[in-house]
Amino acid sequence: MAATVLVVTGSPANAAGTGTGYLHTSGNKIVDSTGATVRLTGINWFGMETDNKTFHGLWANNPWKSQLDLMASLGYNTIRVPFSDDALKPGAQATSVNTYSNPDLIGLSPLQILDKVVDYAGQKGMRIILDRHRPTSAGQTALWYTSGVPESTWISDWKSLAQHYAGNTTVIGADLHNEPHADGTNPNATGSCWGCGDESRDWRLAAERAGNAILSVQPNWLIFVEGVSCPSGGLSNVWDNDTSNDEDCGWWGGNLTKAGQYPVRLNVANRLVYSPHEYATSVYHQAWFDDPSYPANMPAIWDKYFGYLYKQNIAPIMVGEFGTTLASNIDKIWLQELMKYMGSGVNGMSFTYWSWNPNSGDTGGILKDDWATVDQAKQSIISPYLIPPTGGGNPTPPVSPSASPSVSPSASPSASPSASPSASPSASPSASPSSPGGKTCTATYKVVNQYSGGFQGEVTVKADSSAISAWTVKWAFPNGQSISQLWNGTLSASGSNVTVTNLSYNGALGAGASTTFGFNGSWSGTNGVPSPVSCTAS
């Protein structure tokens, strides 16, 4: 990507919710090229930041265009797209794409798939915000760089993306880095601070360097800057009996308390949008949820962390992530009150809800596990605040499978204050064909994500030289692993022995065609790849 600069043009956005042409800021408002006030009311569609390197749900029976149709019809006028630098590397490959429901994505790179989503979103009057979510697909980082992905790579990739989408007004800006946060214990902080002056840790200074580099090649983009968790960049040592280094910390990326004193300074005026994150108890049970005055205490908390920037007309706010499973009444109240706090109509704060995906373990999604059915409990709370894009029209009816996958994969949102997975394993394929009755298939097993005690696996089933109508995949786990959730197949397990058969909608495969099923599992000690993995077909 760094070697070649491509210019991709698309239909210019022209919508009631997202305005005309490129956007800029005026006080606490986002305005379009005509000066009209714009409110971004969007959704996060993640996956490009993971080992799949592309949008999750492309494995589903509901085609990607139908999903975008549904987003627009529900009123979401913007999509925030998380990605990692891994997805931008030369030779990066997108995985877990259902070639039956998405034949137009066969063989495309992660960036080429993103181009198609951008183009179609633009046709519907939607906007795209690109979010550099992680340096690699392995997990979140406290700082915006690592030893393997230095700051120079971060900035170079951003400049390449800005040039790639030059002239395409659907792509409106860069969320520079997702959820910079504290690391280490004060006074020996090693995480992202705000205003501390240490160039290796001061997120505010880094945001200026990256933002100005982007604006040097694409002066029309908005620059979205998240907060930190603790302004010092370090966690308070509550056991040292020294309260002098204790401080008030918030969500990862959610603490903008120092932005008023130490604002981000960009070389192009009217391009800065602050973008905090905010979550409910399904992510972490913060102390303020137990306040006897809850939820009356929440507006003051939101004012302190980010709202003052909006109320004092310093800069616009775009709440880049907020979400909940709605499993508790506390969370339902939280979502209702946060929506009210952000305001209604075109003059309210902008936002992108986390997430479209049902496979966010801490929040769930707007979609249910079949990637086609809407979670009406969540949508009914958010819906009154959405400003639909013009051109969304009626959605293409989603293709609903006759048998929905039982459970989607669990992927925790990056906002979780607990440690992120330390590493994702490399893909580990194992394949073994079997050929009864002249019809054969091949099953390829790989681990796509691994973390302490758990992992996500994926198996690709491919028909060989003849069409098949049904398939069965079998293997034996070598190290006592077990499956807790599986989708796009029917699971039968006995001890270490696993059998998976097709569902009604993914058994028939033409010669050379493939489908995938995935699962979440647990492991301890070793997570070896089973061999053989057999596939029988009829």
DSSP state of 9: -
Q: Which of 315, 367, 329, 425 is nearest to 71 (CA)?
A: 367
Is-catalytic flag, 208?
A: no
Q: Which of 49, 179, 226, 458 is catalytic?
A: 179
- What are the b/e assignments for 334-347, b being 16+ CB within 10 Å? bbebbbebbeeebe
Angle at CA of residue 428, ends 423 and 434, nearest 5°: 155
* CA dist., res. 9 & res. 104, Å (int): 19
Name, in order, each residue with C-beta under 8 angstroms of 113's C-beta and a sequence gap of 6 or more.
54, 55, 58, 94, 97, 105
Q: What is the DSSP string of 142-177?
A: SSS--SSS-HHHHHHHHHHHHHHTTT-TTEEEEE-S
β partners of residue 444: 431, 460
* CA dist., res. 411 & res. 189, Å (int): 28
Structure tokens at 190: 């090693």
Is-catalytic flag, 321?
A: yes
Q: Which of 49, 208, 226, 321 is catalytic?
A: 321
Q: How many CB atoms lie within 10 A of CB 423?
A: 13
What SS3 class is residue 64? Answer: helix
β partners of residue 374: 367
Q: Looking at the annotation, which residues are catalytic?
A: 179, 321
